[in-house]
Amino acid sequence: MNIIESAIPDVLILEPKVFGDERGYFLETYRQDVIESRIGKVGFVQDNESKSSYGVLRGLHYQKPPFTQSKLVRAVSGSVLDIAVDLRKGSPWFGKYVGVELSAERKNMLWIPKGFAHGFVVLSTEAVFAYKCDNYYAPDHDAGVLWNDRELAIDWHIPESDIRVSDKDAKQQLFAEVDCFVYDEFKRETLY
């Protein structure tokens, strides 16, 4: 598996080796030893999957301490633009984001550590999106950032008129209101 640093070094792009022939293909979607060699100790406890159509945007979500989550995400079918926003005050990348197109064709994945908001928008007709989480969903600690916050200025790669969000995501807080992550406590070397 090839692991590539993004513009924010704690957010990693994973490109698995795909072995294919006329019968189909095979790949490893997860290997604990590879994750530990590059990230550190991660114990995934929950797998999630969603199906969405073109223009559906889910996010930008995170969980507040002590129920923060890291995620390893991928598109099982179709393609999405996946976004990770650094919410760690004091980070050199605070308020910056990484955007990576994940597709079933490329089979690439994105590692989103704790201290980041996460969201994606579907670029294909429809997409099935899967992710591994290292903490359980905790509704009382669920939070988010408004997907179209002007301060973040995220380029979602499709016209804003095509984007569809839930009522919950349309009412998320502004980036300036987030106050729960301190960089020194949420660095890779501190957490993993």
Phi and psi at residue 147, to the nearest 5°? -60, -30
CA distance 169 to 171: 5
Q: Which of 30, 62, 97, 131 is catalytic?
A: 131
For CA atoms 48, 45, 177, 7, the dihedral sign is negative
184 is in an annotated binding site: no
Bridge partners, 77 (sequence order):
128
Q: Is residue 171 annotated as involved in ligand binding?
A: no
Reduced to 3 states (helix: H, G, I; strand: E, B; else coil), residue 61 is: strand
Decide if 136 is catalytic: no
Identify whether 62 is a catalytic site residue: no
To the nearest 10°, report the CA torsion of 185, 48, 30, 116: -20
d(CA 55, CA 71): 22
Cα–Cα nearest to 164, from 52, 51, 50, 77: 52
* Residue 88 known to bind ligand: no
140 annotated binding-site participant? no
To the question of whether residue 23 is assigned a binding role by annotation, the answer is yes
Has 148 been labeled as part of a binding site? Answer: no
Q: Is 164 annotated as a binding residue?
A: yes
Identify the active-site residue in 25, 54, 61, 136.
61
Query: Under 8 Å CB-to-CB from 187, ≥6 apart: which residues?
Result: 10, 88
**Does the annotation list 118 as a binding residue?**
yes
Binding-site sequence positions: 23, 28, 46-48, 58, 71, 118, 142, 164
Query: Which residues are annotated as catalytic?
Result: 61, 131
Binding-site sequence positions for substrate: 23, 28, 46-48, 58, 71, 118, 142, 164
